Amino acid sequence: MLRYVIRRLVMLLGIVFVISVGSFYLIHLLPGDPAVVILGTGATPQNKLILYKQLGLNRPIYEQYFTWIGNVLHGNMGTSFISQTSVASTIRAALPIDVELIVLSQILAFAAAIPLAMRSSRRPDGPLDRILGATSFTLLSVPSFIIIVLLVLFISIKLGIPHTGPSSYVTLSSDWIANLESLALPAFTLAIGSFVVYYRVLRSDLIATLQEEFITMARSKGISQRRIMWRHAFRPSSVALLGSAGVNIGGLLAGGFVVQYLLAIPGLGFTLINAINMSDYLLVQGIVLVVSVGVVLINFIFDFIINIVDPRISRE
């Protein structure tokens, strides 16, 4: 177990290193003077000089990388030339909103997917299983941006429910009820996508597990249906569920931008799109780095949880 974790940790460090090189090198992949790309609309001769000095653009590229990564490790990702604020503090302000949104959506998704998967796996191809199967397959093909647009159209515009429309985000510290209201539609939208995946994965694994001999054994001992589901069948069936949860939560961190953008919720996704529109290169670079590392970390954590659930995996 320990050896497995150490090996994964070394791999993690390797991947984080590659990601940092990738985020750093982004600027050099693009044609033109990097200083002009970084400064965007603020490319005055003075700013150019400051930037050349700050990033050491005249020095060899590997030296530039080590200067940059040294600063990043000290929490300094530079100061945006557009907004004149530090990139690190902008990211620190936006990240908690993403976390809240993801936590809310995952609570909703698991709360719906686990009981429903248990119900429908009891009678595969029964009426409930068929209806849920068709519904989840259809929802799989509806992009989140369409769900959110339709929800805004019907709930915030037609029904006029407050705090749900675009640009009505309320911070958690000022009014937590209004905050939950303003996050209700995006959290619900993200939850639908997650629910579909979790339901389908857990259902098929449960059906397979329920045919195992130890379940027949438990049944013959007269253990209740509910106890068999939760105590005997759930744990061995949850490995694929956890695996897809890791991929999915990482995907929400990286791909939740559309929902945030449409409702103007100032999380990382929204900040990223604004930074792109303002050509705020340093902020884009910072967010790309933070989100990529976040995705890798989430996958690592879920790998770890899977190992606790099924220790056989690390022994292979």
Query: Interface with another protein by CB under 8 A: which residues?
Result: 14-15, 18-19, 22, 26, 29-31, 37, 124, 137-138, 140-143, 145-146, 149-150, 153, 157, 197, 200-201, 204-205, 207-208, 240, 243-244, 247-248, 250-251, 254-255, 257-258, 261-262, 272-273, 276-277, 279, 281, 284, 288, 291-292, 295-296, 299
User: Which residues is 53 bridged to in the sheet?
Assistant: none
Which of residues 179 and 188 has its CB atom nearest to another protein in the complex? 188
Find out whether 40 and 278 touch, Cβ atoms under 8 Å.
yes
Which of residues 166 and 223 has its CB atom nearest to another protein in the complex? 166
Which of residues 179 and 202 has its CB atom nearest to another protein in the complex? 202
CB of 108 to another protein, least distance (A): 18
Largest CA-CA distance found in the chain, in angstroms, rounded: 82
DSSP character at residue 40: G
CB of 229 to another protein, least distance (A): 19
Give the Cα separation of 200 and 205 in Å (integer): 9
Give the Cα separation of 7 and 17 in Å (integer): 16
Residues 17, 245, 103, 226, Cα dihedral to 10°: -150
Residue count (the chain): 316
CB of 243 to another protein, least distance (A): 6
User: Which residues is 24 bridged to in the sheet?
Assistant: none
Which of residues 34 and 56 has its CB atom nearest to another protein in the complex? 34
CB of 41 to another protein, least distance (A): 13
Locate all alpha helices (DSSP H) within the chain, ordered by sequence: 2-29, 34-39, 45-55, 61-73, 87-122, 127-140, 144-151, 176-210, 213-220, 225-227, 234-237, 239-255, 257-263, 268-277, 281-309, 312-315
CB of 33 to another protein, least distance (A): 13
Which of residues 170 and 273 has its CB atom nearest to another protein in the complex? 273
CB of 237 to another protein, least distance (A): 11
Which of residues 56 and 124 has its CB atom nearest to another protein in the complex? 124
CB of 146 to another protein, least distance (A): 5
Distances (CA, A) of 219 to 32, 207, 210, 215, 273: 70, 15, 10, 6, 55
Which of residues 108 and 239 has its CB atom nearest to another protein in the complex? 239
CB of 30 to another protein, least distance (A): 5
Residues 194, 199, 201, 203, Cα dihedral to 10°: 170
Which of residues 66 and 145 has its CB atom nearest to another protein in the complex? 145
